[in-house]
Structures are given as structure tokens and as C-alpha cells.
Amino acid sequence: MIAEFTLDAEVLRESLRAAPELTVRLEQLYSTPDDPLRNVFWATGHGADAFEAALPSDPSITDWVRLETTEIGRLYRITYAPDIVDLELYHIAGEVEGLILDATANDGRYEMRMRFPSRAAFEEFYTRGTALDVRFDLQALYTSQVGGREDESVLTDAQRETLILAFDCGYYDIPRGISLDELGEKLGISDQAVSERLRRATRSLVAATFASQGTAKIANADADTVDFSPRS
């Protein structure tokens, strides 16, 4: 299972805020016996000089070096400070066998794509991460359809509840039997949140129905909450 999410990471936060138009993309992440965690990444876009000028005073790292400069961007290696929360999150990912597939950051906000051996593994990563006050915004979960369908629900519980209520109340009838405002009142959320839940639920169902090959995006998170209630 693959998860796409954004998070407010601590590493490079101040340096990235010094260059809001700069983007960094992970190249390699590794640890050594002497260093808790090292990160090799490309920095591209405007503001490279401002970013580099902020690195020496960035409290999230203990050292840095520019490895290469090309027409595309600059390649850096940094060592994580031993007391930042990102280091603990890295250890949690290893314990649940989570693998980083892609990571980019801009203006202090990281966009992540990770592979987990199961939904339960991701739930543990998410739960333990939030306990460290790491703010996650889950965008989607992916499940491989190659070699047979996965036995996973394509909807979150909140999406399922909203979709069933909308259907039962005639939202999909012509003419409609209920408005988004009225659905929102029944669910205790805004009409915008109802609209987003229905859109994401529909998108997930369509992906699961037609993605007989490749990977299907499933279980997009609601804007206001991520529900990991146990499934029966």
C-alpha cells in the first residue's frame, strides 16, 4: 500500500522559509554509525543563494556540504540534528517497514509518497507520528491491482457515511431531493466539506472500478479529519 501525504517537517524548515520559491527533492536518506541520519537532496528553483546562506544557522542540522552544482540545481548533503522530531519519525517508519518513494519540500512543507506493507502499518505510522505532534494531511492511499484485487475498502468511513446519506436523501435524484447545505446540517459539517467528501468518494470508486491494471488511488482523506476506525 502506498500513501501520499503532506507534513510539516522540522528539518530544513528555517532554510526553506528563507527561499520560498526553492524546491528540494530527496535523493538519498541514510544513517551511519557516527551520524543518526543523513539526507542527500537536490535544490532547484529561485533562491539557492538565500537557502545556502541560511544553512549554517539552521538548528535542524549539524552540518552541510554542497556536493555538486549543475544547470538544473545544487546537490547537498546534510546531517540531521539528534533532537529533531524527524529523526524519531524516520525510526518509526523503519519499524513499520515504511519506504520513502518520493519526498519534496517547498517553503517548509513536505510532500511525501511512501510504501507500507499494509494499511495497518500505515495506521501505526500515522498514529505514532501524530502523537509526536507531527501534522499530517493525508491525500490518498494506493493499492496495487496487479495480480488480483486487494481486499481493501476504497472509502473511508466518513466518505461512506456521506455517500450513503446523500443517496438515501435523494441528492442524486433529478431534481435533487436535498442540497449540500442540508446534508451538511445532518452531518454537522460545512457544505464545502460535504462536496469534497462526495467528490473524493466518487473519485475513489471510479478508480477502483476501472483500474483493473496498474495502481488505483483509493481512500482519499477528508479535508477536516482522517478516520482510521477499525473495519469489520
Q: What's the whole-number mean pLDDT along residues 137-153?
A: 59
56: cis peptide before it, omega within 30°? no
Domain range 157-212, CATH class: mainly alpha
The model's pTM:
0.64
Q: What's the whole-number mean pLDDT along residues 94-121?
A: 90
Cell numbers 538565500 correspond to 50
pLDDT of 203 higher than 80? no
pLDDT class for 150, splitting at 50, 70, 90? very low
Grouping H, G, I as helix, E, B as strand and the rest as coil, residue 98 is coil
Choose between 23 and 147: higher pLDDT. 23
> What is the per-residue pLDDT across 52-105, written as a single tens digit (0 to 9) for each?
999 999 999 999 999 999 988 999 999 999 999 999 999 999 999 999 989 999
Q: Is 28 left (phi over 0), alpha (psi -120 to 50) or beta?
A: beta
Tell me the CA end-to-end span of the chain in Å, nearest whole number: 19
Q: What's the whole-number mean pLDDT along residues 216-222?
A: 45
Domains in the chain: boundaries:
2-142, 157-212
What does the pLDDT read at residue 224?
40
pLDDT class for 154, splitting at 50, 70, 90? low
What does the pLDDT read at residue 153?
54
